Amino acid sequence: MKEWENKELSLIGVPMDLGADRRGVDMGPSSIRCAGVEQRLEQLGFVVADEGDLVVRRAKHHSDVPESNLKYLYEIVRVNEELCEAVAGIAEKGRFPLVLGGDHSIAIGTLAGLRRKKSNVGVIWYDSHGDVNTAETSPSGNIHGMALAVAMGYGHPLLTGIGGDRPKVKPEHVAIIGARSLDPGERIFLKRLGVTVFTMHEVDRLGISAVTERAIDIVSKGTDGVHLSLDLDGVDPKDAPGVGTPVPAGITLRESLLAMELLADAGIVTSAEFVEVNPTLDIQNQTAKAAVELIASLMGEKIM
């Protein structure tokens, strides 16, 4: 039985742009709402509680930690601590947490909150990037490119300490799907930790069905829940142009919908977040509409 078959779901928006250091992505939650996510979920029979948006304060300076290249560290920590508490509270009530971003740094708080409820969280990281940089390897200092490393216990102690000073995810319980832009330090990190990465090479060679099924096997083995963290830049820019760091030659929207349908059929996903929608870079809200289609497929919508 799927954990969320009680059809109770809570939406929470996190209008964060500090992790990406680029304006616009803070409007992602609003654009996904405007694309009709709540109505679509209600049509699927879900009882949706929109918990509103967390408050994100604008920071005056890139670096608030003189000895570090990390941008906007303190405000990102504060927001993620609040998100951790919110997600933990939703999960504690037995509701499905659906988080709308915002940049991908919000995954730090989401996973910290889930760890309060579950001992071993499996993670599908659907993204063109690995997001496993640290302050030492990051070319930019943007924390949205560090979220998965932080969740596994690597990074600034203020970030790794959110929700308790322990790793929130084990490397063997993570599967990255769609990677096609990895920094040199990230490649070393992923190989050293043994994280499973399905790059576009595997997607092209094996097909999205086989890749998704393999990812399901990995993240559901020895775990007590699976979180989907989906960055819209994992989808090809032709189908999702409204993202801050687009990478060409990605997974098509149709392939991505199939991946979501396979996850729905497996019945393993117990929480999700959809991030990095930037309406200022979008075309007629195309990317937010794609996000709603993906959410609907993940939550069980079928053609027949």
Please pick, among 186, 233, 273, 282, the residue that the annotation labels catalytic. Answer: 233
Buried b (16+ CB within 10 A) or exposed e, 114-141: bbbbbeebbbbbbbbbbbbbbbebbeeb
Spatial CB neighbours of 140, under 8 Å, sequence gap ≥ 6: 21, 71
Please pick, among 17, 144, 261, 273, the residue that the annotation labels catalytic. Answer: 144
Residue 127 in marked binding region: yes
The strands making up 96-101's β-sheet, listed across from edge to edge, are: 47-53, 8-14, 96-101, 269-275, 226-231, 122-126, 174-179, 196-199
Neighbours of 108 (CB within 10 A): 31
Please pick, among 21, 273, 276, 282, the residue that the annotation labels catalytic. Answer: 276
Question: Is 273 a catalytic site residue?
Answer: no
Which token pair is 68? 């570090």
* Four-CA torsion 280, 284, 287, 288, nearest 10 degrees: 90
Question: Is 5 a catalytic site residue?
Answer: no
Residue 265 in marked binding region: no
Question: Is 231 a catalytic site residue?
Answer: yes
Closest CA to 255 of 192, 193, 198, 304: 198
Strands 269-275 and 226-231: parallel
The identity of residue 41, as a single letter, is L
Question: Is 265 a catalytic site residue?
Answer: no
Question: Is 186 a catalytic site residue?
Answer: no
Please pick, among 131, 202, 261, 293, the residue that the annotation labels catalytic. Answer: 131
Question: Is 61 a catalytic site residue?
Answer: no
Residue 231 in marked binding region: yes
Please pick, among 53, 81, 103, 104, the residue that the annotation labels catalytic. Answer: 104
Residue 233 in marked binding region: yes
Residue 204 in marked binding region: no
Question: Is 173 a catalytic site residue?
Answer: no
Question: Is 62 a catalytic site residue?
Answer: no
Please pick, among 53, 127, 186, 273, the residue that the annotation labels catalytic. Answer: 127
Residue 103 in marked binding region: no
Please pick, among 231, 261, 282, 293, the residue that the annotation labels catalytic. Answer: 231
Which token pair is 201? 């090479």
Spatial CB neighbours of 66, under 8 Å, sequence gap ≥ 6: none
Please pick, among 129, 156, 173, 227, the residue that the annotation labels catalytic. Answer: 129
Catalytic residues, by residue number, are 104, 127, 129, 131, 144, 231, 233, 276
Binding residues for Mn(2+): 104, 127, 129, 131, 231, 233
